[in-house]
Structure 1
Amino acid sequence: MPGFIDRDVETAETRIRIAVGGSGSPVLLLHGHPQTHLTWHKIAPRLAAGHTVVAADLRGYGDSAKPTGGPNHIHYSKRAMANDQVQVMHMLGFRRFAVVGHDRGGRVAHRMALDHPDVVERLAVLDIAPTATMYARTDMEFARRYFWWFFLIQPYPLPERMIGADPEFFLRAHLDGQSKTPGATSEALFAEYLRCYSDPATRHAICEDYRAAASIDLEHDAADAGKRILAPLLALWGAKGTVGQLYDVLATWRDKATDVRGRALDCGHTLQEEAPEAVLAELEAFLQQR
């Protein structure tokens, strides 16, 4: 990304790859599956005109380290993944910051806001409803559209071996199925995602991420059922995507947070690649509010 510097940050548990650019109030950008921090390439350089932007690879993804899953997939719990990013921001000198998360990154950001309310100043989640809500309301339509939520959680090594037979086919089918804007993910960007997805360690880490979401993350959510997100929350979603079509997105977040606003955008799941102008406008307005 133009104007950004790539670096590795060693946390207490792992190593996180980040790209840092701009100056001003800090904003942490967290990607989803199967992307890397480069999913923000249409937004981050412009957001950096008024903010210090940190775009990070989640543990297990991109060029971040890929630790083992551990008992009950604990090393890919959203709590562990959130702790990584809080440590990164603290090591950069930021005690409080805004966080924007798409897809899996949004789930990490959700947990971060619960575990670190003194750290998360503002929270934006892109095209997700809360994990526990989505699992609790699972029906045939959701299972059909989001089959990987149930495929990737199968015991090792079933999904890893099956995806490993043709990673490019699986990755392209996944991205094409979720995006409703042809060409939004360029071939150059796809090639970068494929470079990372071709690593067996990445594929295993991704499965561990989803296995954690269906096990230990639900335990953490149940234990915190009475806690609410205190930071102002912006929810954006694709009007043409599954989340927007199957859920009242704002209602799901108002069950979890005290201050919620947001709207649908005219796109599919990958808002930052499909509708970058609209996402940028929403984020800039939200981040300027005090």
Structure 2
Amino acid sequence: MFFEGFSLVTQDVQGVRYRFRSGGTAPDAIFLLHGRPETHVMWHRVGPLLARYYTVICPDLHPERSPEQQVNDLLTLATITGHDKFVIVGQDYGAHLGYLTAATAPDRVQALVLMEALPAATHEGRDDMAFSLAQYNSCWFAQLHPKPESHTIPVPAEWLEKPLPAESVFAPEAVADYLSASIWQHARTVTWAAACHPIRCPVLVLWAASGRIGGWYDPVRRWCDVTSAPTEGHAINGLHFLAEEAPGDVETAISLFLEHCIPE
């Protein structure tokens, strides 16, 4: 069943309509922040697993707003839903937003899980031409017109196949939501700056074993450059969309990590 046990809610937050799913009844809360080009629905497999032990809230982000505005929105949403303290798990864009939230409100964010992301402040300037061209889209942009325009799409190609391939890791309901949602249509171009305050909560870093980030860098070491908090991490089998490629492994990694982070 899709997002079993979760309710779909729309809530006004500082004049902005936030759509999110909520499940679980435990006192400890986890906010799951999605990446690009997905929506909160990317957590439809991981969320119910975590909801056995935590209250899980999965909001759609508002990338047309500045990161600072979104941080304030998330903190307000946490207050509205009755959570003074909470954990954040974020994928790529959501990881950067989670990191900024933890730096902004260190008294509220208990732990941070960062998936498929590198700290932008220290990554800037490290991404040489070889790294950039390793991206599917970029290798086409390196060719003469009209190759870039005719071979680049903003979503994985299989999302556009009708029907979705039987071997796809993506659920049809999820892909339908990704393609119908317009949250990325007016997304702002963001340069993620270094956080103004150090991260004080424990940090878990997860990356795809067959992806680019772990192949080019030591992700844990990179995050250690920008936080003085205990930081650990490991690879998970997958290419990038870990919550859908390996939901059980993701949930296990998060749960084991949080067992030592959140006091009874």
What secondary structure, in the 3-state scheme, does the structure 2 residue paired with 1:244 have? helix
Mean Cα deviation higher: 99-108 or 9-18 = 9-18
Corresponding residue for 2:145? none
Q: Match of 2:31?
A: 28
Identify the residue that residue 106 of structure 1 maps to in structure 2.
Answer: 95
Question: What SS does the corresponding residue of 1:204 show, helix, strand or coil?
Answer: coil
Q: Tell me the CA shift for residue 174 of structure 1.
A: 9.1
Task: Report SS of the residue matched to 2:186.
Answer: helix
Which one of the candidate residues 204, 215, 228 is aligned to 2:185? 204
In structure 2, C-alpha distance between the alignment counterparts of 1:35 and 1:98, rounded to whole Å: 21
SS at match of 2:239: coil
Q: How many angstroms apart in 1 are the aligned matches of 2:74 and 2:240?
A: 23
Instruction: Report the TM-score, using the length of structure 1 for normalisation.
Output: 0.77
Q: CA deviation at 1:141?
A: 2.0
SS in 1 for 2:58: strand
- 1:193 maps to what in 2? 178
Say which of 51, 55, 58 aligns to 1:52. Answer: 55
Q: 1:279 to 1:254 in 2, by over 3 A?
A: same
Question: Which of 237, 254, 269 is the equivalent residue of 2:240?
Answer: 269
Q: How does 1:244-283 map to 2 (within 5 A)?
A: 244-257=214-227, 258-283=229-254
**Across the two proteins, how many residue pairs are aligned to each other?**
243
Which residue is equivalent to 1:171? 155
Describe the SS at the equivalent of 1:264.
strand
Could you say which residue in structure 2 is the equivalent of 1:184?
169
| 1:286 shift after superposition | 1.4
Q: Deviations over 1:90-116 (max 9, x none)?
A: 111111100100111001001001111
Shift of 1:145: 3.1
Contact 1:4 1:21 in 2 (8 A): yes
| Residues 116 and 207, structure 2, Cα contact 8 Å, conserved in 1 | yes
- In structure 2, relative to structure 1, the CA distance for the partners of 1:148 and 1:11 (3 Å cut) is farther
Residues 112-191 of structure 1 mapped to structure 2, 5 A cutoff: 112-146=101-135, 169-173=153-157, 183-191=168-176
CA RMSD of aligned residues (A): 2.6
The amino acid across from 1:27 in the alignment is I
Instruction: Give aligned-pair identity as a percent.
Output: 29
Q: Which residue of 2 aligns with 1:66?
A: none
Task: Tell me by how many angstroms 1:134 deviates.
Answer: 2.4
User: Residues 9-32 of structure 1: CA distance to partner in whole angstroms, max 9, x if unpaired?
Assistant: 211242211111101111100000
Gaps of 5+ in 1: 61-68, 70-74, 152-161, 177-181
CA distance in structure 2 between the partners assigned to 1:38 and 1:166 by the alignment: 27
Paired amino acid for 1:267: G
Contact kept in structure 2, 1:15 and 1:59, CA below 8 Å:
no
Tell me the distance in 2 between the aligned counterparts of 1:256 and 1:241: 22
Q: Determine the structure 2 residue equivalent to 1:287.
A: 258
Change (3 A) 1:281 1:81: same
Query: In 2, are the aligned partners of 1:117 and 1:231 still within 8 Å (CA)?
Result: yes
Q: CA separation of 1:204/1:170 partners in 2, compared to 1, >3 Å: closer, same or farther?
A: closer
Amino acid in the other structure paired with 2:80: M
Amino acid aligned to 1:287:
L
| Whole-Å separation in 2 of the counterparts to 1:175 and 1:145 | 21
Equivalence for 1:90: 79
Tell me the CA shift for residue 35 of structure 1: 0.6
Change (3 A) 1:262 1:245: same
Report the alpha carbon displacement of residue 122 of structure 1 after superposing the two structures with TM: 0.6
Report what 2:164 is aligned to: none
Distance 1:148 1:80 in 2: 29
Alpha carbons 2:21, 2:59 under 8 Å: kept: yes
AA aligned to 1:171 is V
In structure 2, C-alpha distance between the alignment counterparts of 1:53 and 1:260, rounded to whole Å: 23
SS class of match (1:171): coil
Q: Secondary structure of the residue that 2:190 maps to in structure 1?
A: helix
